[in-house]
Each structure stands twice: as C-alpha cells, then as structure tokens.
Amino acid sequence: MKKLILGTAITALTAGAALAEGHSVVRLGTEGAYPPYNFINDAGEVDGFERALGDELCARAELTCEWVTNDWDSIIPNLVSGNYDAIIAGMSITDERLEVIDFTENYTQPDPSAYLALADADVDLSSAVIAAQAATIQASYAAGEGMTVLEFATPEESVAAVRAGEADAVLADRAYLAPLAEAEADLAFTGENVLIGGGVGMGIRQSDTELRDKFTAAIQSMKADGSLNALIEEWEIGELF
Amino acid sequence: MGATIFSYCSDPSTIEGLKWLSCYLTTGKHISMYWSFGTVLLLLAITAPTALAFGFAGATAARSRIAPVSWIGKGYTAIVRGVPDIAFFLFFVIALDQLFEWIRHEVKCPDWTDPIRQGNDFVVCTEAKLPLGNAAAWVHDTYAFFLAVLTFSIVFGAFAANVLTGAMRAVPRAQIETGEAYGMTERQTFWRIMVPQMWVYALPGLSNLWMVLIKATPLLFLLGIEDIVYWARDLGATKTPKFTDYPHGDWRMWYFLALLVFYLCFTKLSEIVLDRINRRLTLGQATAAGEAQRKAAA
Amino acid sequence: MTCWDVISDYGLRSLGFGERLLPRDDFTICKQVVLIGSGMIWNVYFGTVALLAGFFLAVGTAVAKASANPLIRKPAEWFIFVFRGSPLFIQFFFAYFAFVSLKGAVPALGGLTAAWLGAVIVLFLNTAAYSAEIFYGALMSIPKGDIEAADAYGMTGWKRFRRITFPTMMRLAWPSYTNEAIFLFHATTLVFFSGFPSRGQMGDALYYANYFADKTFNPFVPYPILACYFIILTLIVIGIFGLVNARLNRHLPQQNRGKLRLRLNLIR
C-alpha cells in the first residue's frame, strides 16, 4: 500500500515536471516607459499596474515569472521569435495584432484616449495640429480624422511639443496623460475622450495556446473575486469590470 | 522605498537643495545608469578587437586568388558599408538569434517533426533555445550583450576591412619583393612583411572608425542593451509625484548635456591615446613621418 | 489595385501628394517598395543639400584651422571638435530644443523646427566639421615642393590658393571625402528616427520602413528593402564621386591615379 502511494506520488511529480518543462520560467516582456501601466521605479525595477497584475497572475497560474524590458518597436517581433513568452505592456487588443499573435482575455476595459492641451488655450480640434507618438493607434486615428499629425519618437517629446507651442494638443491614452494633467498646472484635458483600441490583454505566441489558457483562467479568477478591480482602482487605470 | 545610500534619504519630500540632489542622484535607477557607462565601455573594448578580426578576415578574403572567397570578402564589405547601421540593427539581432537557434535545433533535435515556422511564430525545441528557457536572468543579459557585440562587429568589421584592404595595398611593393628575393613563400611575405607593416597605413582609418564606433553606441538600445542614452531619456522625462519620490519636470536637457560632456571627453582621450600609438608605430617605418622621426632623433 | 496604381497613389506620398492616408491593410511588397522609395526623396534631399552647402564651410574651416592666428584657428578647432566628438543624435536633440526656444523668441524663425530646414542645418554643420577635418589633413600633406613651385612663379595669396593649394587639397582628400558623403547619406535616416517630428505622416525611408514593420510585425521585409535602396544610393554616390576624382586627377600619369586613391582611403 505504501509503495503504491509512493508510486502515484512519483508519477504526479514527474508529470508536473514534464508540464513545467515547456515553461519552467515564463518571461514577461514589458516596455518600462508607460506609467501607470509599467515603468521603472526609483530602485530601477519594473513597477506599475502590470507589475502587480503580472506577479499575481503568475502566482495564480503557478508559474515562475521573470520580467524583461524591451523596446516598444520590436516588442512583437521578439515575442514571436521566442525571446520572451508573453507581452504585458499596456497593449490594446487590435485586429492587426491578432493576425500575428494571440491575446488573453482583456484585463482592462477599452482605454479611452484623450487630448491634452495648454490649460489656457482654446483649441479647435478639427483644425488643430495634433502631436502623437509615432506608429501608435492614436497617430493613425488622428491622420484618419484629417488632422495634421506631428509624430515624435517618444510620448515625452509629444507632450513637450504642446508646451513649446509646436502642436495644439497631444493625443494619447488617457491613463498616461491623467497624472500629467494633475501634476502640471499648465496642461489640461480638452475635447471628448475617443475610444480607439479594444481592452488591454497579454500578448502570447499563437502556437502557445497552453500558456494563453492558463493566463486567461487566472485573469478570469481575478475578475471573479474582485482583485482585478482593486488593482485598477489602485493605479487609476480606468473603468472597472 | 528600497535601499538608499544616505540615511537621510528615507523621506525625500522633506529635504531639499544639495541634500535632495545627493539622494536623487543615488537612487537605484541612477546607479543602473552609472553601470550602463561601464556596459558601453566594455562593449567598445570587446567590439574593437572583434571588428578588427572581422575586418582582417574580410580584407584577406577579398585579396584571395580563389574567386568565390574573394567575392565573399568583397560582397561583405560592399553590402554592409552600403546600408545605414540603424537599418541593420533594427532586424539583424533577431535574425542572428534565429539563425543560432535553428542551427542548434538541427543538431540537437533531429527527430523534431513540427515545422520551425508555425504561422508567424519561430518555434524550436526546448533544448535548442538560446539561452535555455530556465536560464538565470544574467545569462539572458550576457547573451543579449554577446549578440550586440557580434552585430556591431559585423557592421564595423566591414568598414575595417575596407581600411585594411587599402593598407595592405599601401605597403610598398619593393618590401614584398625583397622578402621574395630572400626565398620567402607568399604566406611568409604576407605574415612577416605585409602584416607587421600595414598597421601604420591603417591607423588613421582605424582611428576614425573608432571615433565613429564610439558615436554609434546610442543605437545600442535598438539591440536590447540598456545603454546610457536609454537611461538618460528615461530619467530625464517628466516625473509625476505618483510614480516616484523625486518628481521633476522635463530634465532631458541636463541629462543630454552630461552625455555630451562624456562623449566629448571620451573622444578627446581617444585622440590623445591614438596619437601616441601612431607615433610609436611610425617609428622606423619607410614613410615621410618615420623619416622625420629618424632625423629628429639623430 | 495594380502596382502602377500604387505608384501613382504613393509615389510622392512623402511630399504630401497622392493618397492622404497610409495603407492600413494588405501590405503588399509593391506598397512597401513604393512608399519606402518615396521616403528616399527626403534622404536624398537632406544629404545633397547638406553636402553641397557643407563643402564650402568645410573648406573655409579647414583653412582657418591651418591659420597661424589663434583668433581664427581656435574657433575652427572647437567647431570641429564639438561636432566630431558627439553623436549626431545628441546634436539633433539640442538643435531641436534650441530651435523651439528660438521660435518662441523670434516667431519669424518658425521654419527652423521643421525637418526640411532645421535638420538640414544640423546635417550641414555636422558634415562641414567632418569634411573640414579631412580637408585639413589633406592640406597638411600637400607636398612642400608644390607650394615652393608656386612661390617661384610669383603666385601669392588667393591666386596661389585657387590654382595650387585648393586643387591639390581636393585631390588628396577626395577618397576620404567620398566616405564622408556615404556616411552622411546614412545619417539622414536619423532625422525622423530621433531628431525632428514628421508632419502629416510625411517621412523618410526609415520612417516608412518602420511604419510597415510596425503594422506587419515582420521586420524581415521592410528593412531589407530599405537596405537595398541605400546600397543603390551608395553606389550612385561612389559613381559620381569617382567621376569627380577622375577629373581631379586627369593631369596625372595613368599609373599614379590608382595609387592615390588607395593611399588616401586612410584618412577618415
């Protein structure tokens, strides 16, 4: 009898080991330059809403996770090339991206984008010069609306352009702009919010359905017990589920 | 909020002036930036000889009598020199990484039946991953560093090959002929006469290349290395009180000014050192400068 | 949509003509080749204007650096040192910053913050500094005998410079100057990448290559296309400079021409 128990214990162990072999360590790729979603804190570590979320998801899915920062431009090519296993970087779920990678269930509501302008300026958005980060959904949205788009390499520069009078307003994720509007007296939101992207989800390789399902299950469990809403509130990301 | 170097830094909102600055400049993030200076210097120190080796191989291949080898050497220099380095860096690291993993995959997992390319994904067997999936973070960092060095070396090796080709041709023909007259084989004249003498002709070109290499380091971030420009951009950006104990406005200018000073000093230092090497190499050479040195000493 | 339609829609997109919107789906090779090629117009424009204008400043600076008068020599030395000693990308940053501040003070100088003017100025100063160093090196290696011969003919000042010093300096510097021109054309890709904002999605070749890489998530198509364009551009530059080189050396015996070229590849 004892032997039998030992036997099953061993099978369970080895089965566990075999399962884990695919992903003994799950590497999470992020940008580290997009507060409050993800940023590098004073101590030089990845911090923010997605850090807290990712750590919790890994705990629930019983995975050992590791954080990696990667430039935004090459974040998807590096995922499909296998340099990390998941993207958790405030990435909206879009049809374009779905052609190349899979997403878990969204962990935020669709994030509105907003216009930020000088507080004392009266901006007519239909004829305004709009600053945006190059190659973002906001840049292509503004171009599609017929606005004159001024594209900068980093979000920081696009905000600086509004201050310098180069652009009338900057269009970016509201969650990114909100702390700036709050902290800087000379900047304020203008116009209506616009809904451009879908919700934010984790990007996973299309061939890696097992990992996708694990994370989706973990996200669902966090949605169910309200812990996801608590995090969204803590980091002021946007609407609750 | 994490470990601090000075005890009074525990609550930065209460201090100001120099004291605040001393705390601000010793945050973990700033320490990472200081380390990145070391990373850049280390990369330069490894890349320079590696690129020189690539250049030497390229130049030697271009001189080869065997046509295909010569084509490879010439093609390498012509193509790589023709492409802007940024364009190269934007896709080359991923390409190199996939190449290595594919080779390992072929060797280690001959029984693997699934295709390597599954849709958009590049999938190799677990044993072929580079580094292995469960490797420690530092192994990944070292591998990324290695790929960056290799990419830089391939690009700058092409320029070095161009310089060395010119230098090999600049060694006076009479020197080689003298060697031949002493009964040396072609191999011997190459290694004993041409190679020792070509450096003096190559040095001005190589010095310039070194300067260009120093100034290409801001592109390191494209290769996945967190270099000084990456940190300067990040640290200089506007910081709101919510995400840091040290909020400030757009300070990029000051950080870039610091980088400017660093690069200018480094260039100046390099100029002084290269000048010395040049004087040492010129000694006893059959050039106008070597002749001038001889006369001055006599 | 045939490839001809794509050319008429996007061939001049980088200048703001044709389709207003960039392609949003169905990123065919044809579209990528046409749009990236359209962006090359900017690279050629930046490179050519900066090179032509920079040439004159470079000659002036090289002569100034060779001057015995420290009031003339020192500024030239510092100009060369600062622009050769710092990465172009940092120069772009400070220039853009300065131009924006300047625009605040003097609204008439508003054009400076646009890439077509501002970036050209930075590239112009940058290439002038690099070329000045090359020309200075050549000036220092002009054979003493040439100058002595000019003196013997009673040539002085401007006449001696125009007839003897300048042509010899050009001949000696030309191969290195060719390299500088190649580097400069490559450097033009930095303009929109980390220097100046692009307006109305009008950008250079790298801007569009980046756009496609971002839309298709496949860097292995647009960047090699960009690379091919630049290899062609480099070959054209080498060809044109080769013609000038042949003209500069036309009075030399046939054998010496080749030799000059090789030896002087080394200055840069």
Query: What's the CATH code of the domain at A37?
Result: 3.40.190.10
| Cβ contacts of B269 within 8 Å, gap of 6 or more | none
**Type and span of the H or E element at A232:** helix A227-234
Identify the band that residue A20 occupies on the pLDDT scale cut at 50, 70 and 90.
very low
Cβ separation A42–B2 shorter than 8 A = yes
Q: Quick check: is A74 in a domain?
A: yes
* pLDDT tens readout for residues B121-157: 888 887 788 777 677 778 888 888 999 999 999 999 9
Per-residue pLDDT for C21 more than 90?
A: no
A188 in the same domain as A132: yes
* pLDDT tens readout for residues C71-122: 999 999 999 999 999 999 899 989 988 888 888 888 888 788 888 999 999 9
Domain ranges of chain B: 34-224+262-285
pLDDT score at C266: 37
Order of strands across the sheet that contains A102-103: A65-69, A26-30, A86-87, A203-204, A102-103
Domain B34-224+262-285, classified CATH 1.10.3720.10, yes or no: yes
A30 in the same domain as A138: no
A210 in the same domain as A105: yes
Question: pTM of whole model > 0.90?
Answer: no
| Averaged pLDDT for residues A104-124 | 87
Residue with tokens 């002749």: B291
A105 in the same domain as A52: yes
Give the separation between CA A130 and CA A120, rounded to whole angstroms. Answer: 17
Query: In terms of C-beta density within 10 A (0-12 exposed, 13-18 middle, 19 or more buried), how is residue C204 classed?
Result: buried
* pLDDT tens readout for residues C55-71: 999 999 999 999 989 99
A217 in the same domain as A178: no
Cβ separation A156–B29 shorter than 8 A = no
pLDDT score at A6: 43
Give the separation between CA C268 and CA C246, rounded to whole angstroms. Answer: 20
pLDDT score at A21: 45
pLDDT score at C132: 94
What is the share, in percent, of chain B residues with pLDDT greater than 90?
28
**ipTM for this prediction:** 0.86
Chains within contact range of chain B (3+ C-beta pairs < 8 Å): A, C
Backbone region of residue C159 per phi and psi (left: phi > 0; alpha: psi in -120 to 50; beta: other values): alpha
Interface of B with A in 107-126 (CB under 8 A): 118-124, 126
Contacts with B134 from chain A: Cβ below 8 Å: 24-25
The residue among C198, C204, C218 with the most chain A CBs within 10 A of its CB, best to mutate, is C198
**DSSP symbol at C266:** G
Identify the band that residue A136 occupies on the pLDDT scale cut at 50, 70 and 90.
confident
pLDDT score at C255: 52
C209, closest residue in chain A (CA to CA): A135
Cβ separation A135–C193 shorter than 8 A = no
Cβ separation C90–B84 shorter than 8 A = no
Of A236, A233, A239, residue with least CA distance to A177: A236
A146 in the same domain as A119: yes
Q: Quick check: is A18 in a domain?
A: no
Cβ separation C113–A166 shorter than 8 A = yes
* pLDDT tens readout for residues B20-30: 888 888 888 88
Cβ separation C230–B166 shorter than 8 A = no
Residue with tokens 């390409």: B95
Helices (H) and strands (E) in chain A, counts: 9, 13
- Chain A nearest-CA distance from C24, in A, is 9
Per-residue pLDDT for A3 more than 50?
A: no
- Decide which of A75 and C263 is more confident: A75
Q: Quick check: is A156 in a domain?
A: yes
Chains within contact range of chain A (3+ C-beta pairs < 8 Å): B, C
pLDDT score at A5: 44
Identify the band that residue B288 occupies on the pLDDT scale cut at 50, 70 and 90.
low
Helix C205-216 vs helix C222-248: crossing angle, to nearest 10: 160
Identify the band that residue A215 occupies on the pLDDT scale cut at 50, 70 and 90.
very high
A204 in the same domain as A191: no
Give the separation between CA A18 and CA A153, rounded to whole angstroms. Answer: 44
Interface of C with A in 155-214 (CB under 8 A): 192-194, 197-201, 203, 207, 210-211, 213-214
Cβ separation C266–B166 shorter than 8 A = yes
Per-residue pLDDT for A2 more than 50?
A: no
Helices (H), chain B: 17-24, 28-63, 67-82, 85-108, 137-170, 173-181, 186-188, 195-216, 228-236, 252-282, 288-297
Of A109, A59, A58, residue with least CA distance to A86: A58
Q: Quick check: is A241 in a domain?
A: no
CB proximity C215 to A under 8 Å:
yes
| Cβ contacts of C89 within 8 Å, gap of 6 or more | B218, B229, C190, C194, C195
Q: Mean pLDDT highest for which of A170-174, A190-194, B43-47?
A: B43-47
Provide the domain limits for residue A82: 26-109+199-234
Quickly list DSSP for A66-93. Answer: EEEE--GGGHHHHHHTTSSSEE-SS-B-
- Whether residue A110 has a cis bond before it, omega within 30° of 0: no
Contacts with B229 from chain C: Cβ below 8 Å: 89
Identify the band that residue A54 occupies on the pLDDT scale cut at 50, 70 and 90.
very high
Q: Quick check: is A12 in a domain?
A: no
Q: Mean pLDDT highest for which of A125-129, B88-92, B98-102, C53-57?
A: C53-57
Contacts with A44 from chain B: Cβ below 8 Å: 27-29, 31-32
pLDDT score at A53: 94
**End-to-end Cα separation, chain A, in angstroms:** 50
The residue among B74, B76, B83, B85 with the most chain C CBs within 10 A of its CB, best to mutate, is B83
**End-to-end Cα separation, chain B, in angstroms:** 68
Q: Quick check: is A173 in a domain?
A: yes
Give the separation between CA B239 and CA B247, rounded to whole angstroms. Answer: 5
**DSSP symbol at A120:** T
CATH code (residue C48)? 1.10.3720.10
The residue among C123, C136, C193, C223 with the most chain B CBs within 10 A of its CB, best to mutate, is C223
Q: Quick check: is A43 in a domain?
A: yes
